Amino acid sequence: MERNWAGNLTYRARQVVHPASVDELREVLAGDGQFRALGTRHSFNDLADTDGTLIATDRLPVHVDVSSAPGAVRCTGATRYGDLAPVLHRQGLALANLASLPHISVAGAVATGTHGSGDGIGSLATAVRGIGLVTPGGELRKLVRGDADFAGAVVHELRKLVRGDADFAGAVVHLGALGVVTSLELDVEPTYDVAQAVYESPAWDAILADLDAVTGLGTSVSIFTRWSRTDVADQLWVKQRLPFDTDAAERRRAVVERLGAHPATQARHPIIGLPADACTEQLGAPGPWFERLPHFRLGFTPSAGAELQSEYLVPRADAVAALEAVRGLADRIAPLLQVCEVRTVRADDLWLSAAYGVDVVALHFTWVRDEPAVTALLPAIEAALPATARPHWGKVSTLPGDEVRRRYPRWDDFAALRARFDPEGRFRNAYLARLGL
């Protein structure tokens, strides 16, 4: 019996196959029936489920190549960020950002628009400059961002190279609807260090009075709260890229003072009461980017483990109203909540990105694993949030498909793209059907 990472979902698939090469993958897709790709199983809904065949990517090769093109790394889709990052660092390279946990695969994170935090940093999908996949018809396809420049070896490996393809922005965040991603090229930059500090008990009124100042405290900022109190949040995590100049440090001290917050004197877990052993190093100690930007370490179970997650991303202009709406539901939210995290993501042009066209603030909920109670509460949260809120594709939501579609200006373009890549609907499943795909 196959289950997802959190254990809340049992997959309905008739069979699970584990191809060990792209050729074996293509042989699988030559068969009949419905298919979906299954990565590190970090989705909390049935996005990856099917009544047909699940194609697990866990035995596909994991390979990282930093020699394909300047300023880029090429990796196989099954590669986890926790495996990719140390290789890059040893080569003197880095990614612009990472998600809160390094356990997720690059392909799965990109397909769902997964993100870290930072006013000036896009989702993980914005690092993609090229994507290679096997379509439902077994064809090898390559789509490349218009400004990308790749070595000839990449061109020869794939049957079809579409340089600066008009479909690129639609194919990056793709919900697994276009095929199985086998390779990605990602933007890289010189490696850098980050220091992480945690502040406790920032006042909500002060946060909401100048949210921009709070989210601008560092390169990556997260606010954590259990909503057990509505006057103060639990913690404020600030990850700062180094070097950090004296003027910026003074501005931070002033903002933290206005918030009434105080520095933590020992390492903290985002969920109050859990040991901090699983978390990346704090207390201002500098370290490599990949050992600070995630909240959790690769060798540990991240977050709580037994949990559900929901997330809604709203334009910055609507962020204070969204937080006030959630604060107004605190008495209903708190009994089911392990922790709520507030983060920021820079705007992008990827059709199904929750940050499409606008800078966003993300409201993330880590729930206790009581799905009936959580799904009974979500409609109240969704009704209270601004109508601009976009749910994360891999997490639990109850918004109807037509309402989700309305919030994406390029939805019809993506539907047409999916129809061209999968005209027979072989990668269609119940999740996509609810969205009208």
338-355 pLDDT, tens digit per residue, is: 999 999 999 999 999 999
What whole-number distance in Å separates Cα of residue 387 and Cα of residue 406? 10
Kindly state the percentage of the chain with pLDDT values over 90: 88
Question: Does pLDDT of 158 surpass 70?
Answer: no
The predicted model scores a pTM of: 0.94
Mean pLDDT, range 364-374, rounded to an integer: 97
Task: Identify the pLDDT of residue 69.
Answer: 78
Confidence of residue 300 (pLDDT cuts 50, 70, 90): confident
Question: Does pLDDT of 155 surpass 50?
Answer: no
Instruction: Note the pLDDT tens digit of each residue in 86-113.
Output: 999 999 999 999 999 999 999 999 999 9
What whole-number distance in Å separates Cα of residue 371 and Cα of residue 395? 12
Instruction: Note the pLDDT tens digit of each residue in 395-423.
Output: 999 999 999 999 999 999 999 999 999 99
Question: Does pLDDT of 145 surpass 50?
Answer: yes
Tell me the pLDDT of the chain averaged across its residues: 93
Question: Does pLDDT of 154 surpass 70?
Answer: no
What whole-number distance in Å separates Cα of residue 185 and Cα of residue 89? 16
Mean pLDDT, range 51-59, rounded to an integer: 94
Lowest average pLDDT, out of 131-140, 143-152, 220-229, 291-300, goes to: 143-152
Using CA atoms, how far residue 316 sits from 211, 319, 320, in Å, is 9, 5, 8
What whole-number distance in Å separates Cα of residue 398 and Cα of residue 87? 39
| R_g of the chain, CA atoms, integer Å | 21
Task: Identify the pLDDT of residue 164.
Answer: 56
Question: Does pLDDT of 116 surpass 60?
Answer: yes
Mean pLDDT, range 188-205, rounded to an integer: 98
Lowest average pLDDT, out of 242-251, 280-289, 358-367, goes to: 242-251
Prior bond of 202 cis (ω within 30°): no
Nearest one of 39, 164, 47, 157 to 105, comparing CA atoms: 39
3 state DSSP class of 290: helix
Cite the DSSP H helix spans in 172-309. 204-209, 211-215, 246-259
Question: Does pLDDT of 433 surpass 60?
Answer: yes
Cite the DSSP H helix spans in 9-150. 22-29, 81-90, 106-111
Question: Does pLDDT of 149 surpass 60?
Answer: no
What whole-number distance in Å separates Cα of residue 198 and Cα of residue 16? 43
